[in-house]
Amino acid sequence: MPAILTEPRRSVFAVIDQHCHAERRQRFLDLLGDAAAVIPAAPLVTHHADCEWPFRQNSDFWYLTGFDEPDAVALLLPHRPDGERYVLFVQPREPGAEVWTGRRWGVEGAMEHFGADLAHPLEDLAELLPHYLEGAEGIAFRVGHHSKVEPLVLQAWGTQLDRQPRTGAAALALVAPCPLLHRLRLEKTPQELERLREACRISAEAHELARQAAQPGMGERQIQALIEQHFLAAGARGPAYGSIVAGGDNACVLHYIANSAQLRDGDLLLIDAGCSLSDYYNGDITRTFPVNGRFSGEQRDLYDLVLEAQIAAVAAVAPGGTAEQVHDTALRVMVEGLLDLGLLSGDADGVIEQGAYRHLFMHRTGHWLGLDVHDVGAYRLGDHPVNLAPGMVLTVEPGLYVSDRLPVPDGQPAIDDRWKGIGIRIEDDVAVRDCQEVACGHEVLTAAALKATADMER
């Protein structure tokens, strides 16, 4: 059993350093051609009245800057000379504000500690942005997400276009930075993989603690407390997303985060929880086990099936494969098993083609994982699924949810009551690895969270 931690581990402070952020900026600058990029930080978000949520930086901004304050804007300017390509607009030092909300790095700190070539107070953005964008052939800015910065970008570009007949130059296009930036974020560096390993290690420990503590009569929220206590004690920021602690039928609600019920003897408990580190790398793990330590016959049949599907899908993660193949692998095992158990009828190909399994398995088998839990990066480019490559990290998380919430499709058997209220998902985080380094082509970052059927019992 993992020990209760009384001090944060050193490794949680081993954040990705400024050298890594500088390398990322250079790679992004190389991809931008002669387009100037405008990348805003996240704002603070109000929770209720004038209370704010804990600050969460925008992942694109963080990836490029490592700067963890709200209300900032980064400019990446490939068209400018050396020493003027990275400009940060930040909140200036202001003792009267800092005494309430904490220290700021300010303009000087942005240059001294975060590698900015030039830095300015955010309030100067409207005045200086047209100057910095001048001479760029395009402007890379994500429209629709940043209500304060967007009008400034559009105004600067509009002014350039108005003056073009006399100046002879203006940016020709507003382009999306995401395809370029998210291509970089999709393939993790060795340092990033190390951070994801750490997030997964802490998350796995929390799952082990939770399984060993769970008893009939406990509240779902008590289990949530145990898990999140471990995240914080280990030095993580906290949960990466709303922890799902779902006893019995609650597990059939995919995004159940109320965690307000009592655990019942004879039910399963599904826990989907992962931590977020100080530098925002995330774990995302789901485990399901019997509250009283023994599976019923039906629970065991379905658990064994989800586990078989999950193991087969994990085995399909390797360079050259695709996320779609990973999903298809899990789906086929699930459908064949459900046919054997009499929960589906027909032949596997027909059931898959018609989607006649979706009342039992209604989500995809995984998603990219990184600075965002549902991380950025394309799954398809046009008609082509993106090939898995070393450094990509994805979750593998098939599940079965037997309830009467969704209608049974025509031609499929009615569900006997003995199966109802069983929700099972098993989720691991898997890095694609070079087969020269890891023969099977992948590394299960969450392997420390047990999942064998026998290990779920006591």
Residue numbers at the binding site for ligand GLY (CB under 6 A): 241, 272, 284, 367, 373, 397, 427
CA nearest to 247, candidates 276, 282, 275, 210:
210
Residue 346 exposure: Cα atoms within 13 Å on the Cβ side: 17
Q: Report helix, strand or coil for 299.
A: helix
Q: Choose which of 203, 282, 329, 395 interacts with Mn ion (CB under 5 A).
A: 395
Selection from ligand GLY, Mn ion, none that 379 binds (CB < 5 to 8 A by kind) is none
Buried b (16+ CB within 10 A) or exposed e, 95-123: eeeeeeeeebbbbebbbeebbbbbbbebe
Specify whether the CB–CB gap between 243 and 273 falls below 8 A.
yes
230 noted as active-site residue: no
C-beta of 104 vs 207, nearer to Mn ion:
207
CB of 428 to ligand GLY, least distance (A): 11
> CB under 5 A: which stretch of 32-40, 81-89, 130-138, 268-276 binds Mn ion?
268-276
CB of 214 to ligand GLY, least distance (A): 19
| One-letter amino acid for residue 72 of the chain | A
416 noted as active-site residue: no
Measured CA to CA, the distance from residue 367 to residue 379 in angstroms comes to 9
Contact between 284 and Mn ion (CB under 5 A)?
A: yes
CB of 424 to Mn ion, least distance (A): 13
User: Which is the catalytic residue, given 27, 93, 332, 363?
Assistant: 363
Chain-centroid distance of CA 157 in Å reads 33
User: Which is the catalytic residue, given 195, 280, 401, 442?
Assistant: 401
User: Which is the catalytic residue, given 358, 374, 405, 458?
Assistant: 374
User: Which is the catalytic residue, given 284, 372, 375, 429?
Assistant: 284
3-state helix, strand, coil in the chain (%, to 5): 40, 20, 45
397 noted as active-site residue: yes
Instruction: Give 361's DSSP letter.
Output: -
CA distances from 347 to 339, 343, 410 (A): 8, 12, 15
User: Which is the catalytic residue, given 397, 428, 429, 443?
Assistant: 397
> CB under 5 A: which stretch of 105-113, 220-228, 338-346, 426-434 binds Mn ion?
426-434
255 noted as active-site residue: yes
C-beta of 245 vs 348, nearer to Mn ion:
245
Residues that bind Mn ion (CB under 5 A): 272, 284, 286, 395, 427
- Catalytic positions, written as ranges: 50, 255, 272, 284, 363, 367, 374, 397, 401, 425, 427
